[in-house]
Amino acid sequence: MTGPMALDTSKEFLNQLITATPDGERIRLCLQCGACSGACPFGFVMKFPPHGMIAALRAGMLDTLVDTDTSWMCVSCYACTQVCPAKIPVTAGLTTRIKEEMLLAGNVPSELQDALEKAQRYDNPLGESPRKRAEWASGFEPEIPIMAKAKRPVDVLWFVGDYPSYHAGVIPSTKAMAKILQALDVDFGILGPEEVSDGDSVRLAGESGLFEMLAEKNAKAFDKYEFNEIITTDPHAFNAIKNEYPNLEISYPVRHYTQFLAERLDQLEKLMKKSIEATVAFHDPCYLGRVNGIFEEPRQLLQAIPGVELVEMAHQRENSLCCGGGGGGMWLDGFQWEKAEVRISEWRVREAISAVGTDENGTRILAVACPYEPPRFEDATKTVPGAAGLIVKDIVELIAEAMGLEG
Amino acid sequence: MNIVVLVKLVPDLVEELEIDSSGATLDTTFMRMIINEPDEHALEQAIILKEREGGEVTVLGPAIEDIDGVLFTAFAKGSDRLIKLVDGFELEVNNHALARAFTSVIRELNPDLVLTGVQAHNDLDGSLGPLVAEYLGMSYVGYVSGVTSSGDKLTVRKEYPGGLIGEMEVAIPAVLGIQSAEQPPRYVAISKVRQAMKTATIDEQTLTELDPSGGPTVSQMFQPQVGERAEMIEGDIDQIAAKLVELFGDLGVV
């Protein structure tokens, strides 16, 4: 579509962005400085990187934007939002909305379509049986309380999440978390098969309808039971329940496990008797750090582990570099590789190697606090030269090991 | 063109199939039904034809489990009319009975073209398409992966083993068994499906009886037997690699 009509639809869309997003009116302030596109890890591949999207909308090119598949390179990492001098809500108010339009127009890479269809049918993007969501906990000693069976109020409802429930590379950290909670005598329960995907990543991939459907299912389960707060190991679940569910009138107090455990540091320090002699770099997950401002707690936990020497990577805290799994990136690996011929996770592993050094005699660890990361970074250690000895572990696994709870 | 798409629901293999205590049927306790995958391609092909050449798409399915969701999704993708056949369906109905049930409704619709998936993983008594074609007295072509129409003739691309593709003319009305649509089935956003639930209606056609005659009677079901033909190679990586190279050489692969 070209001509005056195209200008009208673009203007209408732009007006929607301006009026319907909190702080959306800031889009008017964009002076095309391009900082967002420079900070974007995949800005160099996108035909319309964030500032280009605004320029295109002003020029009446919504249709062109919607037809351009390179906008699927956006990993919703908030680097653009963080760096914008005009404080434009770039991720929430622009890139996510463009993805929604692309999705409605049927411009969806097949890998992503597959994950969305699975999330729709099985309540998890991995396409696993919803009935087996708590299978990781079967045979666990002592037993993990599942709310429907426990039939009692608990202090803490542990929202386990998709990858921690199903992914073989993430389940070890789920089990470590369970052992730590038990060792700390936390009165907790899980929802088991009543839990569904938190939906944050399908939302960021433009599937807001599916996000709402999943949120409503979780809300139904939350509503059935009595608990004081929700904790989770997944920054996306944390972000969704904290910042997005309230928009759907689903409001529960929620904390990421790093906050929950940092509060119990005194107790943990007494229990962490085993030393882990290692140089450790911590990767700030986008939706823990940059989006929700939690930078200190993960570092406090790592520093409390005997023997750990914590080092920082070039990109850290609010400038952290995404693992590449956000905004649908978890399900666009092939697509993004075809476009960029690099993986952000490989860049990040290179940074980790620079930070922890190349001494193969010492133990070198890349510590993470998000379930998307172990599979992505572990894969990257296999392809990045010199990274073969780098161990990728969630902070909970390191804590459990120091507490002598591993295995 | 007036197109009718037939969909059937098959057990979703996300749950392992179990045989019930009778030994002759599947245990339905945890069984979920899902649209037969080739039927999704039949629907996609129908919508592609409609978009390209005009016409109307009617989707027809048996009232089993989540058929409403399947039909509303089909509407959101671009079909025009939804019909479900009500009453008498067990989760596992044989294709002879299903084909007879479909036939009675299809006749009323007087279509130019009937599309259905070429096969389903629970076809114990042959695939649905040829049965429907026989009962309707229409031509049938199966393993189709592309359809164009010109007047009262269709040109269809039929897949043969070994990568061969045959192109043939078919007079309408006809029944086609779709192997794959010209494009992969499209994604439809949930918001559009929810919209369809509000705006679309599903016509119900009540059946008087189901006639399964001609199909087989299952006396016993078995789980696949574990074979013992695999050779496990032991050793470190170098030894395993050397052994593999040797084996591939012996087999004439390298």
pLDDT tens figures, A23-36: 999 999 999 999 99
Q: Which structural domains are found in chain B, ordered by start?
A: 2-206 (3.40.50.620)
Q: Which residue of B has its CA nearest to A126?
A: B14
Q: Do B191 and A208 touch (CB under 8 A)?
A: yes
Domain ranges (residues) in chain A: 4-104, 110-262, 265-402
pLDDT band at B21 (very low <50, low <70, confident <90, very high): very high
SS3 content of chain B, % helix, strand, coil (to 5): 30, 25, 40
The rounded distance, in Å, linking the Cα atoms of A63 and A264 is: 53
The rounded distance, in Å, linking the Cα atoms of A162 and A147 is: 18
Residues 44-73 of chain B with CB under 8 A from chain A are none
Q: Do B15 and A108 touch (CB under 8 A)?
A: no
Q: In chain A, which residues have their Cβ closer than 8 Å to the Cβ of B189?
A: 103-104, 207, 209-210
Touching check for B18 and chain A: CB below 8 Å?
A: no
ipTM score above 0.85: yes
Q: Which residue of A has its CA nearest to B77?
A: A106
The rounded distance, in Å, linking the Cα atoms of A324 and A95 is: 16
Residue with tokens 């060792």: A183
pLDDT band at B151 (very low <50, low <70, confident <90, very high): confident
pLDDT for B45: 98
pLDDT tens figures, B92-117: 789 999 999 999 999 999 999 999 99
pLDDT tens figures, A159-172: 999 999 999 999 99
pLDDT band at B91 (very low <50, low <70, confident <90, very high): low
pLDDT band at B228 (very low <50, low <70, confident <90, very high): confident
pLDDT at A193 > cutoff 80: yes
pLDDT tens figures, A281-317: 999 999 999 999 999 999 999 999 999 999 999 999 9
Longest dimension (CA), chain B: 69
Touching check for A362 and chain B: CB below 8 Å?
A: no
Q: Under a CB-based contact definition with an 8 Å cutoff, are residues B147 and B44 in contact?
A: no
Mean pLDDT of chain A: 96
Q: Do A106 and B186 touch (CB under 8 A)?
A: yes
Of the residues B14, B18, B30, the best mutation for testing chain A's interface (the one with the most A CB atoms within 10 Å of its CB) is B14
Residue A347 phi, psi dihedral angles, 5° rounding: -60, -45
Q: Do B189 and A207 touch (CB under 8 A)?
A: yes
Q: What is the DSSP string of B121-171?
A: TT-SSS-HHHHHHHHHT-EEEEEEEEEEEETTEEEEEEE-GGG-EEEEEEE
Mean pLDDT of chain B: 93
Q: What is the DSSP string of A97-120?
A: HHHHHHHHTT---HHHHHHHHHHH
Instruction: Tell me the shortest Cα–Cα distance from A194 to chain B, in angstroms.
Output: 15
Kindly give, in sequence order, each residue whose CB lies less than 8 Å from that of residue A273, ignoring residues fewer than 6 positions away. A306, A402, A403, A404
Q: Which residue of B has its CA nearest to A100?
A: B189
pLDDT tens figures, A38-93: 999 999 999 999 999 999 999 999 999 999 999 999 999 999 999 999 999 999 99
Q: In chain B, which residues have their Cβ closer than 8 Å to the Cβ of A208?
A: 191
Instruction: Tell me the shortest Cα–Cα distance from A385 to chain B, in angstroms.
Output: 20
Percent of chain B exceeding pLDDT 70 equals 99
pLDDT for B29: 87
Touching check for B237 and chain A: CB below 8 Å?
A: no
Higher-scoring residue by pLDDT: A226, A359? A226
pLDDT for B68: 96
Q: In chain B, which residues have their Cβ closer than 8 Å to the Cβ of A212?
A: 190
The rounded distance, in Å, linking the Cα atoms of B49 and A142 is: 59
| Strand pairing report for B33-35 and B9-11 | antiparallel
CATH code of the domain made up of A4-104: 1.10.1060
Q: Under a CB-based contact definition with an 8 Å cutoff, are residues A268 and A304 in contact?
A: yes
pLDDT tens figures, A243-257: 999 999 999 999 999
Touching check for B14 and chain A: CB below 8 Å?
A: yes
The rounded distance, in Å, linking the Cα atoms of B68 and B70 is: 5
Touching check for A142 and chain B: CB below 8 Å?
A: no
Distance of CA A324 to the CA centre of its chain: 10
Lowest mean pLDDT, pick from B117-126, B143-152, B182-191, B230-239: B230-239
Average pLDDT over residues B219-225: 89
Q: Do A106 and B187 touch (CB under 8 A)?
A: yes
pLDDT for A4: 63
CA dist A8 to A2, A15, A57, A206, B83, Å?
Answer: 10, 10, 10, 23, 39
Q: What is the pTM assigned to this prediction?
A: 0.93
Average pLDDT over residues A213-217: 98
Q: Do A108 and B191 touch (CB under 8 A)?
A: no
Instruction: Tell me the shortest Cα–Cα distance from B12 to chain A, in angstroms.
Output: 10
pLDDT for A407: 60
Q: Do A104 and B193 touch (CB under 8 A)?
A: no
Higher-scoring residue by pLDDT: B218, B90? B218
Q: Considering only CA atoms, which of A28, A22, A17, A74 is closest in space to residue A50?
A: A74
Average pLDDT over residues A256-260: 98
The rounded distance, in Å, linking the Cα atoms of A93 and A108 is: 20
Q: In chain A, which residues have their Cβ closer than 8 Å to the Cβ of B187?
A: 103, 106, 108, 113, 116-117
pLDDT for A184: 98
Q: In chain A, which residues have their Cβ closer than 8 Å to the Cβ of B15?
A: 129, 131
Instruction: Tell me the shortest Cα–Cα distance from B236 to chain A, in angstroms.
Output: 18
CA dist A39 to A34, A84, A171, A326, Å?
Answer: 9, 9, 33, 16
Kindly give, in sequence order, each residue whose CB lies less than 8 Å from that of residue A303, ignoring residues fewer than 6 positions away. A310
The minimal CB distance from A120 to the residues B14, B186, B190 is found for B190
Q: What angle do CA A76, A283, A351 make, to 5 degrees?
A: 100
Q: Is the Cα dihedral A99, A102, A106, A108 positive or negative?
A: negative
- The CATH topology of domain A110-262 is Rossmann fold (3.40.50)
The rounded distance, in Å, linking the Cα atoms of A251 and A236 is: 16
Touching check for A66 and chain B: CB below 8 Å?
A: no
Q: Which residue of A has its CA nearest to B29?
A: A131
